[in-house]
């Protein structure tokens, strides 16, 4: 493993010379696919144990739903949902904990509780978020979103979705550098489904390789998303096949983290895809 493929994540390290599966743990009452299922700590920990047994390398803990139309939550609400879970996972399991948050206080306190990564759908644009993330010393995933969850899907428009997403991510990488967060500590997420129509999502996926600046790896999250439902006419619980097809394409395009609900199946697809790619090399 060369030094460029090592991502320090708190007291652990992630080998980005190959792709990993990030398991989703929403401790929210209103997430689009699994809201309310893991609000109790024992339920959350059982789910973490299952995801790790199925091959997840990271667990992404979220206390604020960012589904289209989701209501905002206070920092206190988010902390009350997230911190006990982060602390418990850190004490019980040998895994990297990612915290899906845009809130500076949650970033700081989660890092102190054992989190190893920050995953921010707002790309550190909230007041104080850049400074908070820099102070933690943790790697950060910057995601593109047009608008806010409450209204992002009402009428998203782009002259060129690929150019605009790429330009936004480039600006946020520069802002991070100014705040003391080097590119070596960053991941980028195109933000499929966040302020984008089906056609925008498809165009973005087709051009995904052009979104990655040299040395910065991609995180891709498409698990159970509406783009699959819209194209295939599938309900949330019938979108696995479409999601796995997109996972294959993402890994072939260089994505290093796949954020998913269905861990065992996604791990199989990642391993199979990478085996074929390795044989081709």
Cα pseudo-dihedral 136, 141, 147, 148, rounded to 10: -60
Q: Exactly one of 122, 196, 225, 239 is catalytic; which is it?
A: 225
Q: Which residues of 179-213 are buried (b: 16+ CB within 10 A; e: fewer)?
A: eebeeebbbbbbbbbbbbbeebbebbbebbeebbe
Cβ neighbours of 235 (radius 10 Å): 8
* Token reading at 49: 């144990």
Q: Exactly one of 185, 212, 239, 259 is catalytic; which is it?
A: 259
Cβ neighbours of 122 (radius 10 Å): 19
- Apex 140 CA angle, 139 and 143, nearest 5: 155
Q: Confirm whether 196 is a catalytic residue.
A: no
CB under 8 Å to 239, separation ≥6 — which residues?
A: 223, 224, 225, 228, 229, 232
Structural contact between residues 252 and 274, judged by C-beta atoms closer than 8 angstroms = no
Q: Confirm whether 259 is a catalytic residue.
A: yes
**Which are the catalytic amino acids?**
225, 259
């Amino acid at each position: 493993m060369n030094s460029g493929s090592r991502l320090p994540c708190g007291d652990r390290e992630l080998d980005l010379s190959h792709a990993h599966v990030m398991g989703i743990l929403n401790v929210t009452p209103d997430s689009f696919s699994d809201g309310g299922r893991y609000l109790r700590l024992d339920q959350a920990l059982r789910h973490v144990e299952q995801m790790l047994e199925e091959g997840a390398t990271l667990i992404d803990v979220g206390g604020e739903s960012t589904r289209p139309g989701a209501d905002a939550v206070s920092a206190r609400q988010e902390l009350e949902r997230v911190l006990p879970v982060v602390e418990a996972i850190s004490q019980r399991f040998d895994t990297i904990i990612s915290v899906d948050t845009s809130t500076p206080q949650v970033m700081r306190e989660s890092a102190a509780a054992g989190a190893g990564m920050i995953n921010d759908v707002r790309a550190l644009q909230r007041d104080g978020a850049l400074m908070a993330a820099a102070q933690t010393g943790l790697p950060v995933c910057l995601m593109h979103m047009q608008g806010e969850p409450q209204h992002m899907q009402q009428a998203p428009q782009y002259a060129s979705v690929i150019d605009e997403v790429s330009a936004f991510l480039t600006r946020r990488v520069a802002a991070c550098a100014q705040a003391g967060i080097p590119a070596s500590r960053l991941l980028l997420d195109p933000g499929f489904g966040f302020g984008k129509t089906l056609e925008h999502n498809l165009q973005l996926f087709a051009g995904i390789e052009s979104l990655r600046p040299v040395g910065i790896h991609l995180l891709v999250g498409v698990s159970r998303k509406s783009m699959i439902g819209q194209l295939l006419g599938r309900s949330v619980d019938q979108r696995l096949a479409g999601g796995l097809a997109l996972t294959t394409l993402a890994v072939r395009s260089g994505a290093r983290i796949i954020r998913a609900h269905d861990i065992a199946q996604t791990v199989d697809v990642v391993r199979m895809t990478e085996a074929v790619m390795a044989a081709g090399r």
